[in-house]
Structure 1
Amino acid sequence: MTLGPAEQARVLGGVLAPLLAQGAIVRRPRVTVAAERARSDARAAAVLERLAERHDRRPVAVTLGPRRLVLPLHHDDGRAVLDASPDPFSPASWEKRAALSHFQPRGVLISPLEERPALREWNERALDTGRPVHAAGEGVVGALHGIADAVVRGARRQGGLGFDDVDGPLWSAARTVTLGPGARDDTVLTDELQALRTRANWAFAVPQRRALRARFSRHVLDHVRRAPLDSLAGAGVARGGNPLLAATQVPHWLFAFDAARIALWRALAVAAARPALQDALRAEAVDAAAAGGVHVLPLARAAVLESVRLWPTTLVLLRETVAPTVWGDDVLPPGHGVALVSSWFHRDPDRRPAADTFDPGFWDGTDWTGPAGSVEPWLVVPFSAGPVVCPGEDVVLLTASTLLSDLVRDVRWSPDSHPALADDPLPPTLAHEHLRLRAAAA
């Protein structure tokens, strides 16, 4: 059902515009702080809640010039779209192609349908999709321990940390995991990526910086050629790829680690405000350190997943039909857009109070189980879902959970900002850039 002018205006002004303003590819700090103060996600949820009540949770459509965009409002409809990706619901939507082409024009996420299977299959081999611990996990985790130790020393010395203090070390972790220790201190590489991603926020509205992208691509290729086997790029080359292929996919891996950094910092902030949760994470960390080796760390993983559920790092999941598609009484033509607002499904008002509660017990591995006794299907997709689920989910969770575990093992954290994180319900919007924590010896 296409909405009338008044309802379309509310969706555009109250839902889509605030999400775009925060930055689809890289967050705009001032806007995210303003969004937190304005509780923009709560306002967006209120708009969608009114639509869901009025239209019996049937999908609704808005028009943006020549573009028509369907918004599913029922969990079953959202799941059906994700399960039917990439055909007929392709992840390579017009908006996504315009944005991601600024820095990863050959990435699997926006690849043509005929090229996608081979690229997807190689990404899954390179990233060990479906395995909680990557085959190169020992080298990856060893590098992360060193980076976390440096953060802990800084926290003890300063008495606390803000996101600006961990921004650099967490990017070092991303570069090391992806490309090996030779990239650990190469801040120029991620500065180039950041400049391209900032441009990508404007998608088709600005021209691409092709010279910068070419320089960045050569820079990535140089690292890929030197990447050891216990890095993601090195493992990918060894598993049937080649440096040129790997270099086209690495920009998206680095892009994904930016979201992992944000989710980790929010999870640590919640743990800092909740002593019982922090103590449980510390006990898990101490046991893992005593045993040595690489561990799955189920509580730390679940805490990271809860962070992404409550504050999605992918604000909207976009799809586009690649063929005429029957949906109820309508037939969507090829090129028709679909937008799933992550926070609407994750924080569905009909699922309160659980929707606004931080509880790692809601997770069984990477599967959402929800509160005890929950029987209604609930679409919780921190890493998307269906055939195009993020192939790097396990690697991201291994990295983020290892760092979270290391950070709480020998430090007792407490909130220096956002004391409200101690209690449920948790705020609908959380600007990670302004989270500050105090640190003391555990």
Structure 2
Amino acid sequence: MHDTPAARLLAARAPARPLSGKAAVPGDKSISHRALMFGALAVGTTEITGLLEGEDVLRTAAAMRALGATVQNLGGGHWRVAGRGIGGLVEPEDVLDMGNSGTAARLLCGLLAGHKLFAVMTGDASLRKRPMKRVTEPLSATGARFATRAGGRLPLAVEGAADPLPLDYRVPVPSAQVKSACLLAGLCARGITRVVEPEATRDHTENMLRHFGATVEVGIEGHGRVIELTGQPELVAAPVVVPGDPSSAAFPAVAALLVPGSEILLRGVGMNPLRAGLFATLAEMGADITRLDERIEGGEPVADLRVKASALRAVDVPPERAPSMIDEYPILAVAAAAAAGTTRMRGLKELRVKESDRLAATAALLEANGIRFAIEGDDLVVHGAGGPPPGGGTVVTHMDHRIAMSALVLGLAAQRPVTADDAAFIETSFPGFAALMNRLAGGEALGAP
């Protein structure tokens, strides 16, 4: 069974000087998971550089090994995966423990559904509370069979289909994880797997499928898209350069915007338009963020970001932007707390089923630090201070790495220090976060309370 990291109190206080310097954020978590999975399904050896070596991705690496792929860590984010080809995964001898990673668990459901094997999957206490029915229900149409705890929760047993059927599925709510699980199952099916999404969500799966040689057609339907995958392709090993994670870049970027006089350069950040909603929103708020050396790496747009401290103003964030920044609302709430005026973030229903009820956890973060806010239906309304927010609170993180990092960024910008009650889970997505922030701050801005 997965061991829960020991709780670690961590506090952040206003640094003695502005943030400055250059930094590379960890590799994109979404792309790292997929690089390992597609490497395992490809014929040949895939070289991956810049892989995120956080706990979540290491769980995916371990699962791919258990399913028969040869996965080597060569050091410094350089990994090598010798794949088994489509349909070539083998039955694991033991339970697959996905730790804290909802992405890995849901994508793996799709991977397993298309293979004739039996497997059991579990995770840590947080992941075992998260709903899996949203993927197991559509995947059952392949012929795979799933057994779960009440409410579609882990632990979960799957008996993959011997001859999986292609899917034709309309995703009821925008979810890249559900879409990706359906496409992964479709790889092993004869014929065309078709997924319709009501709003465009992150398209890393489609980009990487093409990168490995699959035929993927994408059509536009209203605000959303229709994705058609030709089943049983021969995926051929291809090198993957993992860009810096825009969700991770959000934290030092917002810190630099809010700490007066700051200027930092974040190197090699993924700028996929279906992931960059936060940066579009910050630009609307008056953030001074410049994209430098824009380029394409492994099918993904990448740029260096120069971020300068800025006086932010409130905005109204439309609900259709939610899929492109669903993980960034807690840190946007911190930016909004320092902005002039009242910011409204619309349509945040999906936040209620993240690592924690992230909407409630964000509201509690604001309340603990003297920031005025309201939750109106699925909208979060934040009344900005037009300068440093009060701070001074202890934030309950609920084992959620993004809530913990948001609290610590708030502490850098607030009038009084802010404490995260448990920062241990930051390592799942952003190894070395405290050290990187302290280096940019030129001292111990993050440390023991």
TM-score normalised by length of structure 2 = 0.26
Structure with the greater relative contact order (CA < 8 A, sep ≥ 6): 1 or 2?
1
The structure carrying a bigger strand percent of its residues is 2
TM-score normalised by length of structure 1 = 0.26
